[in-house]
Amino acid sequence: MNKYVHGYSSHESNRLHDQADSLADLLHYDSIWEEDSIILEAGCGIGAQTKIIAPKNLSSKFVSIDISLKSLEQAKTIANTNKINNVEFQQADIFELPFEDEYFDHIFLSYLLEHIPNPVDALIRLKKVLKKEGTITVIEGDHGSTYFHPDSDIAKKAIQCQVELQKQNGGDANIGRKLYPLLSQSGFKDIKVSPRQVYVDDSNPDWVEGFTKNTFTAMIKGISKEAISKNLIGKKEFEKGIKHLNRTAEGGGTFCYTFFKGIGTKD
C-alpha cells in the first residue's frame, strides 16, 4: 500500500494545482519578502505554490527543495511553462539540509509539517539555515475546521478517514491550530498566526469548482481505496459521504475551511 503523501499521483498533482490557484489571493497576498532576499522553499512538491510566490518576488532568489525527484521534475516544468527564472530547484531532505548555517534570509513551507511525525525537529533544522532576524512562513490546513451545509454525519465520517490515515502515516491533518505552539517550541520569536478562512457559497462559482469540488472533495475522494481497504469505512458509506460533500457544491450549499499562516522570526 502506498503511503498517503500529497503530490505523488497525477490526481493529486492536479488537485494541488487547483488548490493553489483558487487560494492564491487568500494565502499569498502577503507572501512578499524584501527585495534581493534568498528564500528557501522547503518541500516545494510539484511547484504549486512556487509558481505563485516566485513571480511576486522577482528580485529575490528562491531555492525550492523537495525529497521527491519526480515532484521536482513537475515543478521545473511548471516553472518553465510560466517563464519563472528566479527559482533553483534542488533535491534535498529537510532533515539533512545541504546548506551552510544562516544561509537564507527567509524560509517558506506549506502543507509539509502535516505529513511528518516530528514537526518541531523539522522547524529546528530549518532554523539552522536561516539568518538571524530572518523569518519562517508556514501554511497548513486543519481538517477540524471543516463545516458545511447541508450538514452530513456520513460526509464527516469520510473526512475523518483522511485524518485517521494521515495519523497512521505519522502526520496530523489538524495541525493548523498548532502552528503557534510548534513555532514557539522550535525557538522562533515574534510569532504571528493568521487564520485564513475559505467560505464558499453560490455567489462564488469559481470557489465552488476550485475549492469545494476540486480541492477538498477531490482530496477526500483520493483516499477512498486506502480507507476502504483498511476497514475505516465501507465502500457504500464512503461513496455516500462523497455524494454529500458534492451536495454542498450544489445550489444552496455552503462550505467552510480554515487554513493557518504562521510567521516566526529567528532570534
Q: Which residue is nearest to ligand SAM (CB)?
A: 45
Q: Are 137 and 262 in contact (CB under 8 A)?
A: yes
110 binds ligand SAM (CB under 6 A): yes
Determine phi and psi for 39, rounding to 5 degrees.
Answer: -120, 130
71 binds ligand SAM (CB under 6 A): yes
Q: How far is CA 159 from CA 128, 147, 154, 218, 245, in A?
A: 36, 11, 9, 11, 9
Which H or E element spans position 196?
A: strand 189-200
Sole binder of ligand SAM in the list 36, 58, 73, 95 (CB under 6 A): 95
93 binds ligand SAM (CB under 6 A): yes
d(CA 153, CA 186): 37
What burial class does residue 255 get, using C-beta atoms within 10 Å of its C-beta: 0-12 exposed, 13-18 middle, 19+ buried? buried
Residue where the block lists cell 511576486 = 56
Q: Which stretch binds ligand SAM (CB under 6 A): 31-39, 67-75, 209-217, 254-262?
A: 67-75
Sole binder of ligand SAM in the list 23, 28, 31, 43 (CB under 6 A): 43
Residue (154 or 218) nearer to ligand SAM, CB: 218
Residue where the block lists cell 487554513 = 259
Smallest gap from residue 47 Cβ to ligand SAM (A): 8
Residue (68 or 174) nearer to ligand SAM, CB: 68
b/e per residue, 31-47, with b = 16+ CB within 10 A? bebeeebbbbbbbbbbb
23 binds ligand SAM (CB under 6 A): no
89 binds ligand SAM (CB under 6 A): no
* Alpha helices (H) in 99-207, listed in sequence order: 119-128, 153-168, 179-185, 205-207
Smallest gap from residue 62 Cβ to ligand SAM (A): 12
208 binds ligand SAM (CB under 6 A): no
* Nearest in space to 16 (alpha carbons), one of 199, 236, 222, 174: 222
Sole binder of ligand SAM in the list 13, 27, 45, 179 (CB under 6 A): 45
266 binds ligand SAM (CB under 6 A): no
Q: By rule CB under 6 A, what string of x and - marks binding of each residue 114-143 to ligand SAM?
A: -xx---------------------------
Smallest gap from residue 175 Cβ to ligand SAM (A): 12
220 binds ligand SAM (CB under 6 A): no
Contacts with 109 (C-beta within 8 Å, 6 or more apart), sequence order: 41, 42, 43, 126, 136, 137, 138, 139
- The count of chain residues that interact with ligand SAM, using the rule CB under 6 A, is 22
Q: Interface residues with ligand SAM (CB under 6 A)?
A: 5-7, 16, 20, 43-45, 48-49, 66-68, 71, 93-95, 110-112, 115-116
